[in-house]
Amino acid sequence: MLALRLTRSAHPAVQLRRLLVAAASAGTGFLLLCALGHALGHSGAPSASALRLAWCAAPMAATVHLAVAVARTDPGTRPRPGLSAVGLGPARLMAISATTTALSCALGSLLALLVFLFLRGGLTGVPSGGAAADFLAADRPLPFPATLTLLALVPLSASAAVAVTLRPREPAPGASRGARAYGRFGAARRPAGPETFGAYGRFGRQLGAAARGRRTARAPQEEKRGAVPDTPEAVPGVPEAVSGVPEAVPGAAEAVPGGTGVPPAPARSVLSGLPWGISVLAVGLAVEAFASRTGSDGAPVDRPGALVGLALTAVGLALAGPGLTHLCGLLLQAVRPGALRLLAGRILMTEAARIGRPLGVVCAVLSAAGAMASLSGSDGPSVGPLTTLGVLLVAGCTTATLLTAAVEAKHARADTTAALLRLGAPLTTLRKAAALRAGALLALFGPLTLAVAELSAWPLAR
């Protein structure tokens, strides 16, 4: 009931994103039902029906990916202070997100069933003819258990993925042990080196932060007596330009480090997937080249293996997306950057983990679509209506996921943007930085997509 109330009272933009999830679920459910209809009408060719059902995995994965991205940006289920007091902790909010996602996908599955029954003639009594009669099987009864199982795949998969993604995460065991670790004689932190027996009582080591607080409070009295105060300027490594700026301009503490307002993400965690992505991409291209070899009669030896290679190239691009986005941010800041390039590059480095993977998925989908278009344009098989629907569904879901991740990134840096505006940064500068980021990503991922599409289509067209 709470999930229904949150769904009804959400913002129109949030409702639009949920409707996109429902539409994607409807398209995927319709493709699954068409695979079932083809299996009913062609009982003598189970391999062809299984291949049609296997092709539905790509639209279903794209739909689940979109559902997870929409659930992450839902403001109604975002943890806020005070909700735990009324029983809405992180676990309860995660359950509400999963339930809301299941409701949206169930609505789409119900719409797919109604459209499929309408085309079969179950609602009007007149089935559709022509090319649609091949996958509708209007002359055969529709099995209820198989229909219910296929329609439940998308809601269950999407809700399970949302629950796994938004599950409450406990702090790392090493970090918790380090925070609660005590040194000798009850010291508040683990000593860096060995201590002797009398180290506890010397120079106030046992006091820690309390001693530093009392030294700060005694600073005015020490100044009157001629003592040197313990100020940040006297501490090595703290520049004078940093001290005093947050007090002069509230909220500018985030805008001081690096001069950009956006601290970069850890490069090791972002770039860790780049070698794996490049390796999987190379393996996929090698599989395509190996599968495109011809036998003695000139026929291709292993055409399904080429499709496996195409899938591997897509996975490689998706894995390499965050690392490539991070490197794009580094290239923007190379060779004596100005304030605009520094700001755009630092934001790209920060958002590499958030928008890099959806961008890599879009790159993979576009490269696969380009390879399929080049094959079908020459002497390849003709593209049917279900294939067109599947391609449009995958492309639309991945594009919507990328836009949703961009909206999430914009909301995540809202405080930093406000701090830059308070510091006097012009709004046109922020817009130019956004255009520069988009141009840099297009300049890197555009030629990469074309190159992968050509390399994927070349072995298959031989």
pLDDT of the chain along its 462 residues, tens only?
665 666 666 678 888 888 999 999 999 999 999 888 888 887 777 888 888 888 888 899 999 999 999 988 887 666 666 666 666 677 788 888 888 899 999 999 999 999 988 888 766 665 666 556 667 777 788 888 889 999 999 999 999 999 998 887 765 554 444 444 444 444 444 545 555 544 444 444 444 445 445 555 555 554 445 444 444 343 333 333 333 333 333 333 344 344 444 444 566 667 888 888 899 989 988 887 777 654 444 444 445 666 777 778 888 888 899 999 999 999 998 888 888 898 889 998 988 888 988 999 899 888 888 877 776 654 555 567 888 888 899 999 999 999 998 888 888 888 888 888 898 888 888 999 999 999 999 999 999 999 988 887 776 665
Would you state the torsion angle of the CA atoms of residues 299, 303, 305, 306, taken in this order, to the nearest 10 degrees?
Answer: 100
* Angstrom distance (rounded) from CA 329 to CA 355: 12
Which pLDDT value is given to residue 117? 87
CB count within 10 Å of CB 211 equals 13
- Crossing angle of the two packed helices 352-377 and 385-412, in degrees rounded to 10: 160
Question: What does the alpha-carbon distance between residue 71 and residue 432 come to, in Å, rounded to a whole number?
Answer: 30
DSSP state of 202: S
What per-residue confidence (pLDDT) applies to 456?
79
| pLDDT value at residue 260 | 40
In the three-class reduction of DSSP (H, G, I as helix; E, B as strand; rest coil), residue 294 is classed as strand
Separation CA 371–CA 288 (nearest Å):
12
The pLDDT of residue 196: 52
pTM greater than 0.75 = no
Q: Say which residues have a Cβ less than 8 Å from residue 409's Cβ, sequence separation at least 6.
A: 351, 354, 355
Tell me if 119 sits within 8 A of 136, measured CB to CB. yes
Name the β-bridge partners of 300. 294
Please count the other Cβ atoms lying within 10 Å of the Cβ belonging to residue 111. 17
CB burial of 331-358 (b: ≥16 within 10 Å; e: otherwise) equals ebbeeeeeeebbbbbbbbbbbbbbbbbb
| pLDDT at 262 (0 to 100) | 43
Residues found in the chain: 462
Q: Rounded to whole angstroms, how far apart are CA atoms 435 and 344?
A: 9
Report the alpha-carbon distance of residue 320 to residue 453 in Å, rounded. Answer: 16
Cα separation, 296 vs 140, in Å, equals 44
Q: Which of 73, 103, 125 is nearest to 358 (CA)?
A: 73
The 8-class DSSP code of residue 230 comes to -
What pLDDT score does 152 carry? 93
